[in-house]
Chain A
Amino acid sequence: MQVSDRFNKGIKMKFGICYNVDYQAEVHGSPADYYESILDQCVLLEELGFDSAWFSEHHSGPYSFGNPALMIATAATRTRRLKLGTGVSLLPLHHPIVLSEEYAMLDQLTGGRLEYGVGRGYLLHEYPWLNIPLDESAPRYREALDFIIQAWTTKGKMSFEGEFFKVDGYKPFPNVVQQPMPRIFASAVSAESFAYAASKNLDIGVAIFVPGMNELLPGYIAEYESALADHGFARSDRQVMGITQMYCAEDPEEALAEGCRYAENYFKFFGTTMIESGGPNPVAEYMMQVKASGLNDLNQTLFGTPEELSTRSSGCAGI
């Protein structure tokens, strides 16, 4: 028996792959090679039964994608079932008319396969580079989100009167395919952000590899569920998505060694980029020295054999 059959008793878990890559020419070849390999992987993901592929947004040289919508649009032409998402779209950096139109177009072009992850980002230099005051990040995020939800759910013309965005008689086009609207996964890293997502009846995207999240997350999810209920929303309609590094190999020592190697490379890159962007901070310093094997022991990363990862994924589902 390769894996206990208790895992074949209707336990549900969705799986997506996130591309938030630190591009390296010696590893990935030319930018065209790099994009092509990811698009090829999207075809494979669909064949293998993955639920989704996610593309991130950053404006920091070769890291991530300047425009994840372009990856979604191209991946859509090569796949039929795979959901395609942003992980995440940086709302404060754009006008919500542009975002709501662009991603409504993608919901049309994908045949209703868009999953919209949203957040504020963590690379602080992106704000001044795009001429957005950093201290407006949170209110711009919330206002842009309100605008996009209104645009996606409005039939006919809409008016919006916010601090940053004002329109009167604006007619959103096109409509979204998914009704009432595509899922919106709000980035959440604090009790406040979980509560805010609940107040808007949004899904959650949470990075479970960040410091202390193993201890904090059960409480955050409990508060999210309680807040959903307080607002009259059903938990069963919502999804909590955990984001982390994964490496799977038949040999357990290879899985742990390779998983830790690539994760620690990425964590160091992540921490260095954060510090270059906004100066020293505790999270960046933690990421630069953290041992991925320790995170794996705490189930904050998923490195292991298929059997181990089946068990541990079940644990994430609260089984």
Chain B
Amino acid sequence: MKIDYLQLEVAQGGCRPDKVVDVLRLFGEKVIPHFKQGTGAGVLAA
């Protein structure tokens, strides 16, 4: 199976906007860089 793109839903179900921001920030800083070298916000050191 090959999914190329993930469209993620965080903000539903009564999640407060400040919580949504925390989740987006963590995902953006620590997950995305593994899939986009050089384009994310802070590539993790292996």
Question: Which residues of A come within 8 Å of B, CB atoms?
Answer: 1-5, 7-8, 10-22, 24, 27-28, 37-38, 41, 44-45, 47-52, 54, 87, 205, 208, 217-218, 221, 239-250, 258, 261-267, 269, 302, 306, 309-310, 313, 316-318
User: Given A3-B46, A306-B26 in contact, is the A242-B35 Cβ separation under 8 Å?
Assistant: no
Q: Are B3 and A318 in contact (CB under 8 A)?
A: yes
Q: Are A41 and B8 in contact (CB under 8 A)?
A: no
Q: Are A28 and B17 in contact (CB under 8 A)?
A: yes
Q: Are A7 and B34 in contact (CB under 8 A)?
A: yes
Q: Are B35 and A313 in contact (CB under 8 A)?
A: yes
Subset of 17 A-B contacts with CB under 8 Å = A8-B37, A11-B35, A14-B4, A15-B32, A21-B12, A27-B17, A41-B20, A44-B21, A44-B25, A52-B7, A221-B1, A244-B8, A265-B12, A309-B31, A310-B34, A313-B31, A316-B6
Chain A hits for B5, CB < 8 A = 13-16, 51, 239-242
15 more CB-based (< 8 A) A-B contacts, given A217-B1, A241-B4: A11-B34, A27-B17, A41-B11, A41-B20, A41-B21, A44-B25, A240-B2, A240-B5, A242-B5, A244-B8, A244-B9, A263-B12, A302-B6, A309-B27, A313-B6
User: Given A15-B35, A44-B25 in contact, is the A239-B4 Cβ separation under 8 Å?
Assistant: yes
Q: Are B2 and A318 in contact (CB under 8 A)?
A: yes
